[in-house]
């Protein structure tokens, strides 16, 4: 089974995000790029399938300076190949990303494409279904379970709904699955191994240029005004705990 994992970088939410002076994009200088956490689950699920059934895993990401580390990390975790598609700096719309991935993947052999169910910046929809439709293959999103059939011609997947209800689908391969959660916590790659690969291995680059458009015009970005904000409880942890207990007591929320 040949599995492709389609990955993208997103701004790290641990950092304070700043809006550019133009008002409709993020200040690139204030952004640290990290791998989309759901793509990490997609990679883990791919590696688990490979561990169980054999085959190969290739990780693909849109080319940028920041993406190298994510691709070397994928290799360190057990991916057989890591490929950079074109040159894309900064945020890329999902439609443009899907277009570039579709062009790159068009000439490849594969049975299954896994990607993260969503990303924190995919304003114009999720890459998985866009890519699948572009490639004219089926897709299922919000997938929490993947089982390959005995003849490796289809997969049985679970799609998750509100309240924990699942739908079971049988999907002909090749297909794109948007992974919500891998069967196991994404594995850890030792930093030393990633560094070693960065020195020794090289990433394959596939030509590609931005093409297509989201069809959206972002007028402005803004920090949402919320209906309210929590009343902040000051003091060290002990003092804060004391104040919380007082609040709970006043409201009759302590056990009688």
Partner 1 sequence: MSNDIFVLIEHRDGVVAETSFELIGKAKELAGESGGAAVAVILGDGAATLTGKLGAADRAIVIDGPGVAQFTPTGYTAALKPVLGEHEPLLMLFPNSAVGMDVAAGLSQAADLPLAAYAVDLKLADGQPVVTSQVYGGKINAEMKFTKGRGIVTVIAGSFPADAGQQDGSPEIQSVSTDASDSRVRFKKLIAPEAGDVDITKESVLVSVGRGVEEEDNIELAQELADALGGAVSASRPVVDAGWLPKTRQVGKSGLKVKPKLYLAVGISGAPEHLEGMRDAELIIAVNSDENAPIFSVAHYGVVGDLFDLLPSLTEKIQERVG
Stretch that binds partner 1, among 48-56, 65-73, 103-111, 243-251 (CB under 8 A): 243-251
CB of 2 to partner 1, least distance (A): 18
* Burial class (CB within 10 angstroms; exposed 0-12, middle 13-18, buried 19+) of 71: buried
Please, which of residues 40-99 interact with partner 1 by CB under 8 A? Answer: 41, 94-95, 98
Angle between helices 67-77 and 191-200 (to 10 degrees): 110
Please, which of residues 145-204 interact with partner 1 by CB under 8 A? Answer: 156, 158-172, 175, 178, 180-182, 184-185
Return d(Cα 27, Cα 12) in angstroms, integer: 13
Candidate residues 3, 6, 11, 203; the one interacting with partner 1 per rule CB under 8 A: 11
Q: Spell out the residues 6+ positions from residue 248 whose beta carbon is closer than 8 angstroms to its own.
A: 254
CB of 180 to partner 1, least distance (A): 7
Return d(Cα 210, Cα 69) in angstroms, integer: 22
Q: Spell out the residues 6+ positions from residue 124 whose beta carbon is closer than 8 angstroms to its own.
A: 93, 94, 95, 214, 215, 216
CB of 130 to partner 1, least distance (A): 5
Closer CB to partner 1, 110 or 169, in the complex = 169
CB of 68 to partner 1, least distance (A): 23
Closer CB to partner 1, 199 or 220, in the complex = 220
Closer CB to partner 1, 130 or 203, in the complex = 130
CB of 232 to partner 1, least distance (A): 5
CB of 31 to partner 1, least distance (A): 10
Stretch that binds partner 1, among 15-23, 50-58, 104-112, 187-195 (CB under 8 A): 15-23
Q: Spell out the residues 6+ positions from residue 246 whose beta carbon is closer than 8 angstroms to its own.
A: none
Beta bridge partners of 251: none
Closer CB to partner 1, 65 or 254, in the complex = 254
Q: According to the binding rule CB under 8 A, does residue 215 interact with partner 1?
A: yes
Q: According to the binding rule CB under 8 A, does residue 132 interact with partner 1?
A: yes
Stretch that binds partner 1, among 51-59, 69-77, 203-211, 221-229 (CB under 8 A): 221-229
Pairing relationship of beta strands 81-85 and 56-62 according to DSSP bridges: parallel
Return d(Cα 104, Cα 211) in angstroms, integer: 13
Question: How many CB atoms are located within 10 Å of the residue 158 CB?
Answer: 16
Draw the binding track, 102-131, toward partner 1 (x: CB under 8 A; -: no contact).
Answer: ---------------xx-xxxxxxx-xxx-
Q: Can you tell me whether residue 173 is helix, strand or coil?
A: coil
Q: Spell out the residues 6+ positions from residue 160 whose beta carbon is closer than 8 angstroms to its own.
A: 142, 143, 144, 166, 180
């Amino acid at each position: 089974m040949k599995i492709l994992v389609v990955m993208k970088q997103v701004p790290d939410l641990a950092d304070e995000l700043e809006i550019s002076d133009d008002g409709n994009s993020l200040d690139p200088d204030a952004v640290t790029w990290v791998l989309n956490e759901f793509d990490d689950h997609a990679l883990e699920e791919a590696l688990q399938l490979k561990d169980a059934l054999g085959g190969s895993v290739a990780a693909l990401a849109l080319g940028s300076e920041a993406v190298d580390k994510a691709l070397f990390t994928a290799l360190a975790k057990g991916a057989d190949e890591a490929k950079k598609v074109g040159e894309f700096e900064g945020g890329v719309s999902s439609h443009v990303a899907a277009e570039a991935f579709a062009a790159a993947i068009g000439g490849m052999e594969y049975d299954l494409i896994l990607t993260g169910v969503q990303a924190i910046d995919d304003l114009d929809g999720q890459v998985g279904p866009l890519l699948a439709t572009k490639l004219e293959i089926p897709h299922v999103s919000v997938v929490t379970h993947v089982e390959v059939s005995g003849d490796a011609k289809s997969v049985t997947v679970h799609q998750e709904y509100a309240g924990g209800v699942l739908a079971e689908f049988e999907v002909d391969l090749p297909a794109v699955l948007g992974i919500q959660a891998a069967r196991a916590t994404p594995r850890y790659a030792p930093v030393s191994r990633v560094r070693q690969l960065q020195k020794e291995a090289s990433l394959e680059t596939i030509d590609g240029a931005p093409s297509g458009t989201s069809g959206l015009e972002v007028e402005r970005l803004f920090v949402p005004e919320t209906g309210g904000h929590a009343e902040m409880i000051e003091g060290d942890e002990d003092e804060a705990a004391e104040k919380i207990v007082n609040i709970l007591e006043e409201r009759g929320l302590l056990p009688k």
